[in-house]
Structure 1
């Protein structure tokens, strides 16, 4: 009979689930290797499908916030379907490519081409004994994703539906037309220039007496509607018998964006629209008593629609164009524009045509497993081949819009309308943007044997070939790996792991493509010792590992010099010009891979069948990083210096994860959290000569800001004149920033820059905590996630860089600017021409980007079983309401989001309403 258990993990729906579906006790490493987590010596972390299911994002990477210790997940700008999250494992260990290797069922594939509902578990591999298995691709860590499979048992059919709405988060507030005109005049006056607007024009802005010529357009309000809308439908079947087990799933989702107006054109829309159909079929077929076949097929078809104008150009216009620049349309019905502002935001949305893209991705693999017990007990062999094809097709339908500039005629003069552009019809073009093909071939021999009660051995010999071809010259690459791994357990408490891999990459010099990557790990399960055995103690384990992993995600052909067109040469009695060639790039001599020497120590503790605690500490010494050669080679070469493999970065940190789950009467509850601290230091980067130690980037973290230390704002000309220190960056006047003289030479110049804040790339501290409870079917789950020791540069146009480059100005800057009447203003004086003194990297603009966000809040009701009698075929039903990214506690004054400081599509809060049915 099918056995079921109650699960409560991070807000898990408290419902019966087949034991065959529970994967918590198994640790997956890829390479065909997995074994019981209790016996693991590695530092891997796992999130199961139950935890991921509370955030069914459009792209799967946005479902990983705050779930797994050591995995840092950072949100990106843009429509969610355009930009997945950025992933790092244990912070930053290199100055080059920092992303981890993403594996789907053992093959390198994009996580964002998965539906969240496809995923059974996500395992983060982060120490030497697991990463040495991946050789030349393992140094940045591995995110191993296992998709759902069938099981022998009663078939289960599920049908899920979600309706979601999104609302923009922290849209910037820009000043109205009248305030902008005042601010512009003020900035021009500060620059010693004449005002742009006369008093009667200011009155026209203020009173809106002539709105066509002196308008007041809230471009954000006109261009963006309050909500986006979308649907997510998922259908799955799972089950099987002794010989065939299956999992099949079909997922469809769509999303309609926040632009307006988008339906002004006959026959097409310019709205952000996205739809995707995912399908997944995993079959396990028993061909005989010792033979098994796995057939896996997955794919998706996606289509997106948008204005012909890029998303970046639309939002740059929304952040730049002042409210008083021009009307949306003139009285002639023509798009408004000026000789300065030809980028009418509404015209960019509605009047430039549209683009439509289609993605078609297919992933197929076959796995053949043969037991070889007839040779020796526990021996088996596996062969696997995977074929992937990804393609993207674009249709572009471009047009130009008619625009004109309206100028009012004062004192009886005639109003003027100057044509700036003419309308053109749609012009159709199409192209195949990307075509990627992936071939994977794996073969392995596995030996799994137990002798008596004391000895257990799992050993694997693994071969892999991975070849990727991509449209474009020198765009493909290939890898080859030969891996040996052994896991030994003695008396169920002494653990030993050893792995050794040989790994090669096609991007390296043909004479130096192979690397050797050893690792060793050991563990001691103290709770199995007779002296420590107790009813309350479920497990206490110590473990440690050391080894080497590599990274070679470089560009292709770096080991070859390249040539380009050079000067002309003259030959013959009558000189004739002949074009020549010159070296444009020198080869990287002895190009090799990065080497990551990883040390990890940790312990796992479980007690009272309720409490679980894991703590890990690590140290990573990364060598042979490919860095610029400027500081190591002479500039008299007369050509750009090549890169050199002699960079060094050290990183270290600690990770803590804990959870408590229990039942009191009819109340189930769970509390949990994870915390990680990751710090890195550049030890060698071929840094160019700098005369003072505080100027040197070496010794600081990757992504560290450098700039001027602000001591205040000059409040008067007298203060400027009396200060012995002179700032030579630009002309200084009252309202300008005052900088600290770091070297005591009485001059503020480039030699007075120091380290400011923390890294702008990845926070040093990353944490999350969750809580969940259920009472008689009513329940909730909440996930909070935060970061600290993280900095961002506040240089967003118009918000922190007003007026310059014809920008508008934010209400926040206007209210907090320095003026003679507001000498304690936070921000420097207004300027139209800009200021090299104020608008540079300095401590005013390098901001603390720490935050705590409510990533997920879900409230649900599990319908009683007695109600199912009125729903034929339905065994379980659940309704829920869910919110994502509902609020943020941070230090950005409510102006911008610490994860989005640029002029781009806003981040969104999502509200979802749905139902889960099981048949």
Structure 2
């Protein structure tokens, strides 16, 4: 199936290429002047050193919802970068190339797992909707080479026309188009080395046994390991009976590869333009494999094949046809290991945190997997002996668009329509198998005693459809553009319907009628009104439709007569206000009460059985969409022939009618689950600054572009449970605020314990964490929990800079965050946590700094205990760490060979480049990565080299 899909995509794309080449050759002579002009423009844009200067020039066209606007007429809050900026990032997902690029956009990667490493993006505190060529789609459906531009649309004016889906903001991706230019063929090959960052530092077997004995002693129990056993761990004289296994090095490779190949064609003339892209990405994971044991691959890996064909054809001088065909095939592989709600590499990384170095040997003398009563799932066996789990998903879609100029009716009038169909299919295949582990116990002068745990099972084979969906989209629009002297009017009316069918569920349909009216006088005074009347079929009939208006005003002071001679190209003041909506979260028919069947009940005497019905979750007949009132004010300055750009904004977004369950009146008292109701209120506000300068001096072109965002949030209302003290209440606090106890050092001795407040349900001993008694009632309990960690507005920022000089290019991207605290806890932080299989978990080098009577003055970790400790491991300020950081996210150095070196090979360009990702991190954290701090699959540092040739 994979080969058929790939061959189909290649054949379709090549057919379009041949068709376009035929057209191009037949009319090339007619458009020679236009071709040369376009080529000169493209070369000039390339000299911008991968920046977005072309979008900052006066008259440049900026993508907005359902159209384009000239930069100087835009009142919206937006940011935009060229897709070329993404190509220097050696990453699998294009979201990873957006770090530090936009004010207001915060990006964080929680996992580096191949195929599942897309970071989470929040725009002004909310999760934005992603549109690809104006249609809501999965961002992973495209590769960087296909991207023409990425925009963030932030305020009500920018998103009001999306009605019920515009409240969270929008990330708008436009794909590349062909232009009036000779045929260009571009091929890029690159290969990279990946290395994992911030690996946990486990204790060796000797230190583990020593600290484990200490933890038992702290709890009044007898030590487990004898001095003789600890010495054998130390000298390695009996690696089977007394193993000391570095599990990370045993099951993990030091590095893994990432490869990417891209071939694209573009060109066209006055009749037809085309862009065709074929892309392959292969990313290996870090788990080892054993070809001697298996004929199949067990290591984790990810492969992606994608293609896109964008065609624009002028059927007549007034009618334009656009055809976009795109597809993606993603194959992943995982080991077959299973765990609780986890499988493959996820369960293996989780088990690494639960398997001490002395648990069992990797292999016994006869090659069988080591293990024992407590640890019956050998880590190496999970990697190479548990089978494998391939997964496949397919995405195929087509967009058809027509745009008809209606100047014969009214100059400036046009109509356009779009149809799109998109399908997605995902399948998981399980080829798991079980394996036994064996415990060897040596007997002096006799054969060893071998005990078997588990069974060696044959491979099972099953498959399941993970997810399927179909998306149908239709759009009709009518627009009118008119310039009369100093007066300019731009209007549009748009109707669209977006229909989803996920699996076997009912259709989910979003329908929107939207309009926009813009007016400006001499590009000096601006006014804009937009509105949408939108509905979704999941709401009850009287709550299905809503109106979402927005208004904006602007004034470019630099165009006033009294500003002449000041040297400013533009100084525009602008402000917008509007209402937006968000319809995510509503389920099917939640406004109706349902009853479900239950087990048998017995009636009468003698008793007879019969079925019964139980009431489902309480219905909410008043459920409706979430809403937000958004206010935005900004100032944009450009000077020195547009080379200096500066933008400053303030926003205040008040969200209300948010879907939440009530915290008061517990559901257990009702005998049922409470429904989600439109009761929540939140406010997000902040300041954003973007500044850039683009310089040129003879053969040197350079740029620097930075942004900073100060972001604040507030829980205005959440109907929380009754909390008697103000410091306990979540209402009024930040949306992601951490709550817990306030740590007050360690208990020094019994006298200190006797003088301190009593801990509810726990008897402390010296070395335990002591907490502040906030309400001074002499008891430490939930009434002493408050907001912990940083309560200031979070600051995040980014810097992109670079230059080119006589064929040399250099660029770098920094991103950082300040006023950010994180809660570091769990199996990667605590010591000796009990594992699901009855054993005791890992311990780490930071546990060497534990509290003891001898280290009481310098200890940075509480006294040790075995298993869970309800006092020391509760949420408290002790586990709050400074999560601020500054990261050199990306660096690229490239050289384009002189034209006279490559012209004999008919090349237009040959470019060699090296780049890297996550090269340097400055942070106060000493054990974890500031992004992947939950001990998930680690993020990677990537070193990449590649070449691009163009013909």
Q: TM-score, normalised by structure 1?
A: 0.95
Please say if 1:301 is aligned against 2:335: no
Cα displacement (A) at 1:296: 0.5
Aligned residue number for residue 786 of structure 1: 816
Measure, in 2, the Cα distance between the counterparts of 1:211 and 1:634.
56
Aligned residue number for residue 101 of structure 2: 67
Out of 685, 690, 696, the position equivalent to 2:723 is: 690
Q: Structure 2 matches for 1:178-327, cutoff 5 A?
A: 178-309=206-337, 310-327=344-361
Aligned residue number for residue 796 of structure 2: 766
Aligned residue number for residue 669 of structure 1: 702
Greater shift after overlay, 502-511 or 705-714? 502-511
Measure, in 2, the Cα distance between the counterparts of 1:634 and 1:888.
46
Measure, in 2, the Cα distance between the counterparts of 1:636 and 1:718.
44
Measure, in 1, the Cα distance between the counterparts of 2:854 and 2:842.
19
Measure, in 2, the Cα distance between the counterparts of 1:602 and 1:295.
38
Task: Write the deviation string for residues 621-678 of structure 1: whole angstroms up to 9, x where unpaired.
Answer: 1111111123268864222222221111011101101011212343322112110111
Contact 2:53 2:694 in 1 (8 A): no
Out of 563, 573, 585, the position equivalent to 2:617 is: 585
Q: 1:541 and 1:23, CA in 2 relative to 1: closer, same or farther beyond 3 A?
A: closer
Aligned residue number for residue 358 of structure 1: 392
Aligned residue number for residue 177 of structure 1: 205
Cα displacement (A) at 1:693: 0.8
Greater shift after overlay, 664-673 or 434-443? 664-673
Measure, in 2, the Cα distance between the counterparts of 1:810 and 1:532.
68
Out of 442, 446, 457, the position equivalent to 2:479 is: 446
Please say if 1:35 is aligned against 2:69: yes
Q: 1:9 and 1:844, CA in 2 relative to 1: closer, same or farther beyond 3 A?
A: farther
Measure, in 2, the Cα distance between the counterparts of 1:107 and 1:907.
31
Q: 1:804 and 1:750, CA in 2 relative to 1: closer, same or farther beyond 3 A?
A: same
Contact 2:55 2:62 in 1 (8 A): no
Q: 1:776 and 1:807, CA in 2 relative to 1: closer, same or farther beyond 3 A?
A: farther
Question: Structure 2: 5+ residue runs without aligned partners?
Answer: 1-32, 338-343
Which SS does the other structure have where 1:79 is aligned?
coil
Greater shift after overlay, 703-712 or 816-825? 816-825
Contact 2:356 2:843 in 1 (8 A): no
Measure, in 2, the Cα distance between the counterparts of 1:781 and 1:597.
39
Measure, in 1, the Cα distance between the counterparts of 2:407 and 2:698.
50
Aligned residue number for residue 456 of structure 1: 488
Q: 1:21 and 1:393, CA in 2 relative to 1: closer, same or farther beyond 3 A?
A: farther
Cα displacement (A) at 1:5: 4.7
Measure, in 2, the Cα distance between the counterparts of 1:774 and 1:787.
29
Contact 2:200 2:828 in 1 (8 A): no
Aligned residue number for residue 908 of structure 2: 875
Q: Structure 2 matches for 1:533-612, cutoff 5 A?
A: 533-534=564-565, 536-557=567-588, 558-566=590-598, 568-609=600-641, 610-612=643-645
Please say if 1:117 is aligned against 2:145: yes
Contact 2:441 2:449 in 1 (8 A): yes
Which SS does the other structure have where 2:420 is aligned?
strand
Task: Write the deviation string for residues 213-247 of structure 1: whole angstroms up to 9, x where unpaired.
Answer: 11000000111111111211111111101110111
Contact 1:119 1:147 in 2 (8 A): yes
Please say if 1:143 is aligned against 2:171: yes
Please say if 1:746 is aligned against 2:778: yes
TM-align CA RMSD: 2.3
Measure, in 2, the Cα distance between the counterparts of 1:277 and 1:387.
20
Aligned residue number for residue 11 of structure 2: none
Q: Structure 2 matches for 1:403-802, cutoff 5 A?
A: 403-409=437-443, 415-451=448-484, 453-473=485-505, 476-534=507-565, 536-557=567-588, 558-566=590-598, 568-609=600-641, 610-631=643-664, 636-721=669-754, 723-758=755-790, 764-802=794-832
Q: 1:14 and 1:341, CA in 2 relative to 1: closer, same or farther beyond 3 A?
A: closer
Aligned residue number for residue 891 of structure 1: 924
Cα displacement (A) at 1:801: 4.0
Greater shift after overlay, 807-816 or 854-863? 807-816
Number of aligned residue pairs: give it: 903
Q: 1:846 and 1:561, CA in 2 relative to 1: closer, same or farther beyond 3 A?
A: farther
Cα displacement (A) at 1:879: 0.7
Greater shift after overlay, 239-248 or 508-517? 508-517
Cα displacement (A) at 1:834: 2.5
Which SS does the other structure have where 2:739 is aligned?
strand
Task: Write the deviation string for residues 506-525 of structure 1: whole angstroms up to 9, x where unpaired.
Answer: 22223211111000011111
Which SS does the other structure have where 2:360 is aligned?
coil
Measure, in 2, the Cα distance between the counterparts of 1:6 and 1:283.
19
Cα displacement (A) at 1:849: 1.1
Contact 1:172 1:799 in 2 (8 A): no
Measure, in 1, the Cα distance between the counterparts of 2:583 and 2:73.
32
Measure, in 2, the Cα distance between the counterparts of 1:756 and 1:306.
39
Contact 1:589 1:644 in 2 (8 A): no
Cα displacement (A) at 1:807: 4.5
Q: Which has the higher helix share?
A: 2
Question: Structure 1: 5+ residue runs without aligned partners?
Answer: 92-97
Q: 1:868 and 1:24, CA in 2 relative to 1: closer, same or farther beyond 3 A?
A: farther
Q: 1:797 and 1:537, CA in 2 relative to 1: closer, same or farther beyond 3 A?
A: same
Contact 1:30 1:105 in 2 (8 A): no
Cα displacement (A) at 1:395: 2.2
Greater shift after overlay, 794-803 or 642-651? 794-803
Contact 1:795 1:801 in 2 (8 A): no
Task: Write the deviation string for residues 526-552 of structure 1: whole angstroms up to 9, x where unpaired.
Answer: 111121133731111110000010011
Out of 82, 98, 111, the position equivalent to 1:48 is: 82
Q: 1:169 and 1:20, CA in 2 relative to 1: closer, same or farther beyond 3 A?
A: closer
Cα displacement (A) at 1:825: 0.7
Measure, in 2, the Cα distance between the counterparts of 1:69 and 1:622.
21
Q: 1:19 and 1:495, CA in 2 relative to 1: closer, same or farther beyond 3 A?
A: closer
Measure, in 2, the Cα distance between the counterparts of 1:633 and 1:511.
29
Aligned residue number for residue 915 of structure 1: 947
Q: TM-score, normalised by structure 2?
A: 0.92
Contact 2:90 2:917 in 1 (8 A): no
Aligned residue number for residue 95 of structure 1: none
Measure, in 1, the Cα distance between the counterparts of 2:311 and 2:56.
15
